[in-house]
Every structure is written in C-alpha cells, then in structure tokens.
Amino acid sequence: MPLPPLIEKSCVVCGLTYMPSSQRQKYCSTVCRRGIATCVECGKVFTRKAKTTGRFCSIACWYSSDRPRVSVLCAFCGDTIVGRADARTCSRFCAAEMSKVRRYKSCAVCQKALPENAKERRKFCSRACAGVSSRHVLSRQERNRRWMRKKNYGLTHGDFTQMLERQHGNCAICNTHLQTTGNYRNSAHVDHDHATGAVRGLLCASCNLGLGKFNDDADILDRAAQYLRRAS
C-alpha cells in the first residue's frame, strides 16, 4: 500500500509552516526540536542540547549559581582568578603546562630528594617507602570527607584540624565533644554562611540542623530563647 503524500505542516513550537521529510516530523528545525531556554543565572537565551532540560547556558553559570566563589592564585602563572575553591589554574594553557611539571620533588615518607629524571607522579624514593605508606592509607570514608570539605568549603585537612583545636575539640554552640570519625550525631560538621559561603565554625549535627531550621536568623533564635525562659 503506497504511503500518503507529504503535505505542509505547522511547527508545534514556533508555528511556522514547513515541508516535513517524514510523516512523523513535528518540528521545523533542530533548534525547535531541542528547545530554546533562558539561563536562570545570566538571563541569556540559548538552545538546549539534545534530550536535555538544562537550566544554564554554560558550566560557568552552573558553578556560579550554587557554589561559593573565592579568589585564588593560578598555580602556574600566579594570576588571581575568581572561581571554585578547588580551582588550580586560570586557563587550559596553564593546566596543560602544570601537567608537565613534576608534582613531587621529595619522597612522601622519608623526605629524601627524588632523582631529576623521576616520572611526574612518582611519590616515593623506593619500594620500602611505598610499603610504609600503604600501611597508613586513609579509609575511603575519610578520603571522601576531606575531598568534600576541600570542594565545598575550601578547607584543607590542616585548616580543619586547626579549627577543631581552636574550639578545643568541642561544638561551638553546645560544647559537645566532636568526633572526626564514627558516630554521626557527634561528628564535626562545617557550618557556613549560605549567602557568602564563608566558614563560621564546627558544630555537631544537632546544632547544625537546628540553625538550618531557624533559617540562620538570629532574631528568631532570640525569640525562641525568650519563649523558653517564659515557659520554664
């Protein structure tokens, strides 16, 4: 049975009349098929990629929308860049040049100088030092904790340890002793300002969640304290 002849159709997105190439074609162009959207960060009108529901026109807008941006120095050229806390270079050129630089100049265990012809990622001077290091490998959970603190708040493990020492190992609000591993209720949580991204201190899980429930509003917390005093 012969197929019916093709006739002109109206695009379901823009309404323009077009001659389809098949009976099932519903759009006049690839732009209409993918869809046109407005970036929620910068307001730029852009064409979505195929089969996506993207809200941002670029990765830069995605990063700037929900992640704190800080000023850091490029590890290769030294220029100041504004970006994520874990940003290392200002451009692809600097990133490519940094990949050619040998990262480790001394052994990670005994601090002995590595030979000049050592490979870029070599960390140990001998198999003995590599064996010593393998016996002190961090657990996956602890590695994830350190990576997330560095990624979300820009805190290195040294910064985290110093902050914990300044608080004498206790929560900054309820004075509960904090643990760095194990029990979730007493583990140390990084408290930060959601507006600026600045780190304020270390809290236990209950205090950290409590501040979030009160929307970090000091006036509401004062009224709650007055209510408890009147009721007691």
157 and 197 belong to one structural domain? yes
d(CA 91, CA 116): 27
Mean pLDDT for 49-72 is 66
Q: Average the pLDDT over 111-132 and give the result.
A: 75
The model's pLDDT over 132-160, given as tens digits with 9 standing for 90+, comes to: 655 555 667 777 888 888 888 888 888 88
Instruction: Note the pTM of the prediction, 2 decimals.
Output: 0.42
pLDDT confidence bin for 183, thresholds 50/70/90: low
Q: What is the mean pLDDT of residues 24-32?
A: 77
User: Helix 157-166 to helix 140-153 angle, to the nearest 10 degrees?
Assistant: 90
What are the DSSP E strand ranges found in 19-138? 36-38, 45-47, 70-73, 80-83
The owner of tokens 């195929």 is 50
Does residue 209 form part of some domain?
A: yes
**Can you tell me the distance from the alpha carbon of 154 to that of 85, in angstroms, rounded to the nearest whole number?**
5
Contact call for residues 26 and 11 (beta carbons, < 8 A): yes
Q: Clarify whether residues 145 and 189 are in a common domain.
A: yes
Residues 6 or more apart whose Cβ sits within 8 Å of residue 189: 202, 203, 204, 205, 208
Taking a C-beta distance cutoff of 8 angstroms, is the pair 8, 18 a contact?
yes
- Cβ distance 224 to 214 under 8 Å? yes
pLDDT greater than 80 at residue 97: no
Q: What digits encode the pLDDT tens for the residues 198-229? A: 899 999 988 988 998 898 888 999 999 999 99
In the predicted structure, residue 119 carries a pLDDT above the cut 60: yes
- If asked whether residues 192 and 153 sit together in one domain, one would say yes
Q: Where are the alpha helices (DSSP H) in the chain?
A: 30-34, 59-66, 92-100, 127-134, 140-153, 157-166, 205-213, 218-231
- Residue 202 has a pLDDT of 92
**Is residue 149 located within the same domain as residue 199?**
yes
CA 162 distance to own-chain centroid: 23
What span, in angstroms and rounded, lies between the C-alpha atoms of 198 and 152? 11
Residue with tokens 């493990």: 157
Whether residue 147 sits in one domain with residue 107:
no
Domain that holds residue 25: 9-63
> 119 and 154 in one domain?
no
Both tokens of residue 207? 């205090």
Identify residue 79 by its one-letter amino acid code. D
Indicate whether 82 and 59 sit together in one domain. no
User: What share of the chain in percent tops pLDDT 90?
Assistant: 10
Q: Is residue 145 situated within a structural domain? A: yes
| Number of domains forming the structure of the chain | 3
Examine residue 219 and state whether it is found in any structural domain, yes or no. yes
How much is the CA Rg of the chain, to the nearest whole Å? 28
